[in-house]
Amino acid sequence: MMNEKLIVTLENGVKRITFNQPEKRNSVDAEMTEKLFDAMREAANDGTRVIILTGAGSSFCAGADLAARTAGEIAEHDVTSYLRDVVNPTILVMRSLGVPIIARVHGHAVGIGANFALAADMIVASEDALFGQVFVKIGLMPDGGGTFFLPHLVGYQKAFELTSLGDIIDAREAEKLGFVNKVVPFGELDAEVEKLAARFIGLPRIVLEKIKGGLNQNLHAALAEALEFEAVNQDECFHSEDFIEGITAFMQKRKAVFNQNSKNASA
């Protein structure tokens, strides 16, 4: 199955899902996320034994495709409904699906792209991979489960650092922090992912399903609550003047200057 923004193939039990906007470093829009949800959900019944999630071109996924929105579209956009109806169900189905998901990460995995990778069961990254919760740089908070995954993986203090400062870290640092399983040279990335997928294919499906279910059962409710918190509070951030400044600065390729009104008010 193919469309211009997402490629989904299924062969010998391996479903490959590829973000396919390489000219935008695979930034995702609602259409792509809806297709991703469908592909994940269908994996429960279409013979999929393992999923490989990756991106075309030079990056895994560089976050949400926000650049196309005008100021008017931003003002009218219902972020809470979008996250509740599109993004959050996708994250939840990835964690509830009884099939291993491998994120094959190269280049940028930032913003929602980083959190799609974190929602997978394993991350195999090339040495050139870059991870970042960069939301704050354009005046947003993390969504896509970032506020849930990171504290569980790296602890509160490091999670706060990564989300509040928005620094991008390389694959080796991500491996040290514990959320990347393996880092290999880019030339070895496909072979490493294929080898891992073959190992999963050779294991009993019902056992993998129960292992994944067992590991996630106590976390599922907390993940859902975190996603709902993000959905409600991201909307407030999205409609703030700081976000307008952040996205404008991004488009103009300059550093954003936040809190301008509060500075003027205190002057």
Alpha-carbon span 224 to 30, nearest angstrom: 20
Cβ-contact 26, 62 below 8 angstroms: yes
Give me the pLDDT at residue 76, please: 81
Reference 18, options 119, 132, 102; nearest CA is 102
Cβ-contact 62, 19 below 8 angstroms: no
Dihedral (Cα; 219, 222, 224, 225), 10-degree rounding: 180
CB 95: neighbour CB atoms within 10 A? 22
Cβ-contact 150, 163 below 8 angstroms: yes
Instruction: Kindly report the pTM of this predicted structure.
Output: 0.93
Structure token pair of residue 95 = 């964690």
CA distances from 128 to 42, 59, 170, 174 (A): 32, 10, 7, 12
pLDDT tens-place values along the chain, 267 residues long: 445 899 999 999 999 999 999 999 999 999 999 999 999 999 999 999 999 999 999 999 999 998 756 666 777 889 999 999 999 999 999 999 999 999 999 999 999 999 999 999 999 999 999 999 999 999 999 999 999 999 999 999 999 999 999 999 999 999 999 999 999 999 999 999 999 999 999 999 999 999 999 999 989 999 999 999 999 999 999 999 999 899 888 888 899 999 887 554 443
Alpha-carbon span 7 to 20, nearest angstrom: 7
Give me the pLDDT at residue 75, please: 72
- Residue 10, C-beta contacts closer than 8 angstroms, at least 6 positions apart: 16, 46, 47, 48
Give me the pLDDT at residue 242, please: 93
Alpha-carbon span 173 to 81, nearest angstrom: 35
Give the domains, in start order, of the chain with CATH numbers.
6-266 (3.90.226.10)
Structure token pair of residue 232 = 């409600």
